């Protein structure tokens, strides 16, 4: 299975900070175009998201679900299916294994689906989004539109993209390499 493992906030949707209101969901520019291109090449989509607002009491479980449902609804209207959302509701200091850059969300994905890391890409706006996928041989793409260069680059970084369409173009250009 060819899969794109996407971060959520500032990768798919605008991040106003602890997004708890589904009516405030806004897709980023060129997300639909990028995901449509990847879909046309047989990729499936999964979201891997840190959501510490839950542990901080800023977002309830039902609010988080409503936001994820709204993202799915907006994308589905364009023919794009998010197969599953994998979410870590913890803070860094909670010491869980699922908060990126730790690999727990990705480990769960690989346990749940018949996928090979070499057939997957992780796309996110922070190095930790990619670092969590590295132990599974997943190639990483860092979205950098309007951001300063990160302090470090994960070892699995293969491309720095402006947005999801740029990332999709890169994947399609290099597929089969």
Rounded to whole angstroms, the Cα distance separating 177 from 169 reads 14
Q: Which residue has the tokens 């409503």?
A: 66
Homologous superfamily of 3-174: HAD superfamily/HAD-like (3.40.50.1000)
Global pTM value:
0.96
The per-residue pLDDT for 148 is: 75
The per-residue pLDDT for 150 is: 79
| Residue 177 among the catalytic residues | no
Selecting among 7, 125, 129, 166, the annotated active-site residue is 7
pLDDT digits (tens, 9 = 90+) for 25-34: 999 999 999 9
Rounded to whole angstroms, the Cα distance separating 44 from 6 reads 11
Angle value at C-alpha 87, between 50 and 166, nearest 5 degrees: 65
The per-residue pLDDT for 119 is: 96
Rounded to whole angstroms, the Cα distance separating 24 from 82 reads 19
pLDDT digits (tens, 9 = 90+) for 36-94: 999 999 999 999 999 999 999 999 999 999 999 999 999 999 999 999 999 999 999 99
| Residue 163 among the catalytic residues | no
**Domain residue ranges in the chain:** 3-174
The per-residue pLDDT for 152 is: 83
3-state SS string over 29-56? CCHHHHHHHHHHCCCEEEEEEECCCCCC
């Amino acid at each position: 299975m060819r899969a794109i493992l996407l971060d959520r906030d500032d990768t798919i949707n605008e991040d106003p900070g602890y997004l708890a209101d589904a009516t405030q969901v806004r897709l980023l520019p060129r997300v639909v175009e990028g995901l449509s291109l990847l879909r046309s090449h047989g990729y499936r989509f999964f979201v891997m998201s840190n959501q510490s607002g839950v542990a901080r009491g800023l977002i309830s479980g039902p609010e988080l679900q409503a936001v994820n449902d709204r993202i799915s609804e907006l994308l589905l209207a364009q023919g794009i299916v998010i197969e599953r959302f994998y979410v870590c509701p913890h803070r860094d200091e909670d010491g869980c294994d699922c908060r990126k850059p730790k690999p727990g969300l990705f480990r769960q994905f690989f346990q749940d689906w018949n996928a090979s890391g070499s057939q997957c890409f992780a796309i996110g706006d922070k190095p930790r989004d990619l670092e969590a996928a590295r132990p599974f041989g997943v190639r990483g793409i860092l979205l950098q539109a309007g951001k300063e260069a990160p302090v470090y680059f994960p070892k699995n970084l293969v491309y720095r993209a402006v947005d999801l369409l740029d990332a999709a173009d890169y994947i399609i250009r290099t597929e089969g390499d």
